[in-house]
């Protein structure tokens, strides 16, 4: 758990993920806890290069909401990130996302589906679900989304244990991007894309600052706000 991280860079195009390893990751998904044991998910394994190219060519505009809400979670130095203990480093983003007074350059407001990273990716796992189904009396299907999170975590930790890099792609699961991705993959209209998982082996191992709140920062004892200590 402590060594798990998002692999945001390119994967080695010469190293393929073996089917046996993919099978182990799918088996991990199979045993994820889901609300009412509904198992409301399907997984599409994509390794066909022509399909990966089509998915990699998809683009969509970057929303103003993303820019604004993403900015609120940025730190602009390692020291600031260590102090805040939440969020991510702003150095991963173009200047106009780091400084909201800066106008984006032509083309910067168009988001690709990770572009070349998808096209050259060894394998994608696309997880879909049926939004018409929900756990009993779960308003907004909160329990269903928690279940999908459990599926993701099981798959990710299995991949980590096998030395396989993981990056979650969220651009396929909303709006016109999702509509076009579903058409490419032949996904029925009644299903939605929950998340897409890039699997591979990082071309250059990434080591970046990872921060977490201390246990005492989010734990109460018997009553909210009452401190808990080991």
For 9-18, 31-40, 73-82, 205-214, which range has the lowest pLDDT when averaged over its residues? 205-214
Whole-angstrom Cα distance, residue 51 to residue 53? 5
The pLDDT, as a whole number, for residue 205 is 72
Domain ranges of the chain: 1-60+114-206, 63-108
Q: What percent of the chain has pLDDT over 70?
A: 98
Is this model's pTM higher than 0.85 or not?
Answer: yes
The pLDDT, as a whole number, for residue 180 is 95
Instruction: Name the class of domain 1-60+114-206.
Output: alpha beta
**Arithmetic mean of pLDDT, 40-64:** 94
Q: Which own/partner contact pairs does 25-30 have at CB distance under 8 Å and 24+ positions apart? A: 25/125, 25/155, 25/158, 25/159, 25/162, 25/164, 25/199, 26/125, 26/155, 27/158, 28/154, 28/155, 28/157, 28/158, 29/127, 29/151, 29/154, 29/155
User: pLDDT by residue (tens digit) across 116-160?
Assistant: 889 989 999 999 999 999 999 999 999 999 999 999 999 999 999
pLDDT(110) > 80: no
């Amino acid at each position: 758990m402590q060594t798990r991280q998002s692999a945001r860079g390119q994967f080695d195009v010469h190293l393929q993920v073996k089917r046996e390893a993919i099978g182990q990751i799918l088996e991990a998904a199979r045993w994820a806890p889901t609300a009412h044991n509904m198992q409301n998910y399907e997984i599409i394994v994509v390794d066909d290069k022509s399909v990966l190219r089509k998915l990699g060519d998809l683009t969509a505009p970057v929303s103003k909401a993303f820019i604004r809400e993403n900015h609120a979670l940025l730190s602009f130095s390692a020291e600031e990130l260590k102090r805040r203990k939440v969020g991510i480093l702003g150095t991963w983003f173009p200047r106009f996302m780091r400084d909201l007074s800066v106008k984006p350059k032509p083309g910067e407001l168009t988001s690709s589906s990770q572009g070349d990273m998808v096209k050259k990716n060894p394998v994608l796992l696309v997880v879909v679900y049926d939004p018409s189904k929900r756990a009993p009396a779960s308003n907004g299907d909160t329990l269903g989304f928690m279940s999908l999170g459990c599926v993701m975590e099981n798959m990710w930790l299995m991949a980590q244990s096998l030395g396989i890099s993981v990056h979650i792609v969220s651009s396929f699961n909303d709006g016109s991007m999702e509509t076009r991705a579903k058409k490419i993959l032949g996904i029925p209209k009644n299903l939605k894309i929950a998340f897409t998982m890039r699997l591979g082996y990082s071309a250059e191992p990434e080591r970046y600052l990872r921060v977490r709140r201390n246990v005492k920062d989010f734990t109460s004892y018997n009553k909210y706000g009452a401190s808990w200590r080991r």
